Amino acid sequence: MKSASELIRELSFCEDVPKKYIAYYPTVLIDPVLLPLHQKQTVPITWAEKENARRTLKLECESGIPGGTFGRMSICYWQTQFTKLEKTTGIEEVIEEELKKSQRQAFFDVVGREQSGSSQLTSFYSSFRSALDMKISNEERFTAAKMYTKGTTKPFSISDVKKSMPVDSRALQLLFQRRSPLGIDLYLFLNMKAYSMNKEGNNESNFIPWAIFEAVFHSQRSKCKNLYEFKAKVIKALRHVIYCLPTCSIKVKEKGIAFRSGKTAVQPLQLAS
C-alpha cells in the first residue's frame, strides 16, 4: 500500500481513475449509513434499522454488523468481486475460493498491505466474514407507482446487490490510514452525489443542509451530544475526503455544505469565514 502522503499526492492530481483502482460499493448502504463506526464493540451490534419518508433500511447479522474501516473495505471488496460477475454465473465459486485464502492473504487483498498484528487480523477477518453474512432489508415505499408494505420485503445479501456505485479504491486506502470510517461514508455519499449530478448534467452548486447529513450519517449523529459536535466531526473528516474527490468543490457554511460535482469529485475544503 502506498503511504498516506503518496496517496494524497496521487489522488489530488487525478481527474480520471485508472481502471485498476475502480471498485464498487452497494448504493443501498450509502444513504442512510447504518454500519457501526467502530470495529470493536463491547457488545456486537446485530441489528439496525432506519426509517424515513422514502424507505426503511434494516441490517441484520448474528455475528455482528461489520463496522469501522475494515467493515466498509470488506463490503467494497465483496461488492467489487460480485459486480465483475454481473449477468454471469459463478458467484458461489468465487465466495468459496475467497474463503479458502489465509486470513493474512485476505487482509492483503482487501486492505492492500500486510497486517500489523494478530489482534488487527482477527478484527479484520471478523468484518470480512460478517460482510458476506449480513442480511439487508430495503423497503421502498413507492416503486413504479405501487405501494409496498413491510410484509413484501425479503432480506438479501451483498451477493444479491444489483445496483452499485463505482469508487476509487485508493480513497478507501487513504481513509483507512487516517482511521476515518466517517470519512469513507462521506466520500461514498459525495461521490454518489457527484455521479447523480453529472448524470443529470447539473454543474451548478447544490446546497446540502446539515439536517440531510444528520439523516444520512445516523450512526455518527446518534453518538454526538448535539449538532455542534456532529458538525465538528464531519468537518474534520472532510479534511481527508477532499483529496479523494479532486475535481469537485465543497464549501462549508453555517447551515450546510455547498457542493459542486466534478468528474470524480472535492477541491480544497473552504471554511466560511
Q: What is the DSSP string of 76-136?
A: HHHHHHHHHTTTSS-HHHHHHHHHHS-HHHHHHHHHSS----HHHHHHHHHHHHHHHH-EE
Nearest by Cα to 11 from 266, 255, 271, 272: 266
Domain ranges of the chain: 59-136+149-163, 165-267
- What is the pTM (predicted TM-score) of this model? 0.90
Is the omega angle on the peptide bond into residue 268 within 30 degrees of 0, that is, cis? no
Q: Where are the beta strands (DSSP E) in the chain?
A: 22-26, 47-51, 55-60, 135-140, 142-143, 146-147, 164-168, 206-209, 249-253, 256-260, 270-271
**What pLDDT is stored for residue 24 in this prediction?**
93
How far apart are the two ends of the chain, measured CA to CA in Å? 37
The residue ranges of the chain whose pLDDT is under 50 are 144-145, 266-268, 273
Dmax (CA) of the chain: 55
Tens of pLDDT, residues 54-67:
788 999 999 999 99
CA 228 remoteness from chain centre = 23
CATH second-level architecture of 165-267? 2-Layer Sandwich (3.30)
How many CB atoms within 10 Å of residue 189? 22
Grid cell 464498487 in the structure block, residue? 24
**What pLDDT is stored for residue 259 in this prediction?**
92
